[in-house]
Amino acid sequence: MSALAMDASSPRALLHLLFNGARAVDVLETALALGLLDVLEPGPVTLGALAAQHKLVPGRLYKFLDCLESLGLVKREQDSDALESARYRAVPGLRAAAESVLGLHSLERDREQYAWQELRGRLPEVLRGAHSMSTASFDWPPRTASQVEGFESSMAAGLGPILETFRTHAESLFSAGARLLDVGGGDGTLAGHLLRDHAGLSVDVYNLPATEPLVARTRQRFEHPAARMGFVGGDFLREALPTGYSALSFVRVLHDWPAEVARSLMKAAYDALPSGGRILICEEFRTPERLAAQFFWSYFLMGVDSCVSRLREVDFYLRTLEDVGFHAPHVKPGPFELVVAHKP
């Protein structure tokens, strides 16, 4: 279990915490807003110092910190019953995690706009196949203009950690003159950022034709010329991938499909690339933390059969890339690991 997961030391403890979820979020939002996490994370800090610094009532702050401790998010050392001398330290990464999960522009807040309430309380029927998400609310792939726009902007909102990985490995990813096709490239936000970071790069976004206006808008927003940032409309389930690129990327695309489709897309990439061309896969790999982050979609997509949503271990991608002919598949570390391989 990751250090940031709830301290579910027993099923009962986990269930108590879950039942108190709204209150737990209130506590964490408050800790974030008051700046307590900034002090607690480097820690250790005594309760007395924390209370004095933030003008808080020590006895109340103690109970507040008990809430955080029960979540497994702070550790306490206390030698006596004197509250003020108790020392606290937050688990590493808590400040950034709270900002990312609870902050104003968090993915979880964005997800609230989806019609998950259509499933709430009706899971028995959902599981029996008698009730589904209405296609007016959500369809996969998204169909109406507003679905396409809403979904792609949700995706773009979650690109932060992916961009961080691309930036960490910038030197080794794109040489001057590289031409990238970003397959299933959303509204082009990733392309826009990559172009900003790499002067010698050009990127075409490959996506369903309905996304073209979104990509055009993104290109304008980034002020990239059409010669550097293009759009290729197509459906990868029905046609071969276009050729003429030195690299093809699949970012959060392959997990949407059953293994045989994911494999056929990797094979299609192999066929489209020239010798020496590279495939880049940045995925929702199956790790405890990623599965937790995916909780919303695991729940929501129970009502959407056309989207399989399969988080797979990174080994699946490494093995399949080798099977379809790629050489030296390897993982570049980062908040969203990047799998890279080349065509011999």
Per DSSP, the residues of 67-133 read: HHHHTTSEEEE-SSS-GGG-EEEEPTTHHHHHHHHHSTT-HHHHHTTS-GGGTTT-HHHHHTTS---
Considering the complex, what minimum distance in angstroms separates the CB of residue 220 from ligand SAM?
A: 18
* Binding residue for ligand SAM, selected from 62, 236, 297, 326, defined by CB under 6 A: 236
Nearer to ligand SAM, 36 or 266 (CB): 266
Q: Which stretch binds ligand SAM (CB under 6 A): 79-87, 128-136, 167-175, 250-258?
A: 250-258
Sign of the dihedral through C-alpha 77, 63, 7, 50: negative
245 by DSSP, 3-state: which? coil
Question: What is the token pair recorded at 264?
Answer: 């056929």
Rule CB under 6 A: say whether 235 interacts with ligand SAM. Answer: yes
Phi, psi angle pair for 109, to nearest 5°: -65, -40
Q: Which stretch binds ligand SAM (CB under 6 A): 37-45, 59-67, 104-112, 155-163?
A: 155-163
Rule CB under 6 A: say whether 159 interacts with ligand SAM. Answer: yes
Question: Which amino acid makes up residue 17?
Answer: L
Rule CB under 6 A: say whether 211 interacts with ligand SAM. Answer: yes
Nearer to ligand SAM, 61 or 203 (CB): 203
Q: DSSP letter at 217?
A: H
Q: Which stretch binds ligand SAM (CB under 6 A): 6-14, 152-160, 221-229, 311-319?
A: 152-160
* Binding mask of the shown chain, residues 183 to 202, with x at each position contacting ligand SAM by CB under 6 A: -xxx----------------
Considering the complex, what minimum distance in angstroms separates the CB of residue 152 from ligand SAM?
A: 6
Question: What is the token pair recorded at 103?
Answer: 């902050």
At a CB cut-off of 8 Å and minimum separation 6, what does 91 contact?
3, 4, 72, 73, 74, 75
Based on C-alpha coordinates, what's the Rg of the chain?
23
Question: What is the token pair recorded at 76?
Answer: 């306490």
Rule CB under 6 A: say whether 218 interacts with ligand SAM. Answer: no
* Binding residue for ligand SAM, selected from 8, 208, 302, 331, defined by CB under 6 A: 208
* Binding residue for ligand SAM, selected from 147, 207, 246, 320, defined by CB under 6 A: 207
Binding residues for ligand SAM, rule: CB under 6 A, are 141, 152, 155-156, 159, 184-186, 207-208, 211, 235-237, 251-253, 256
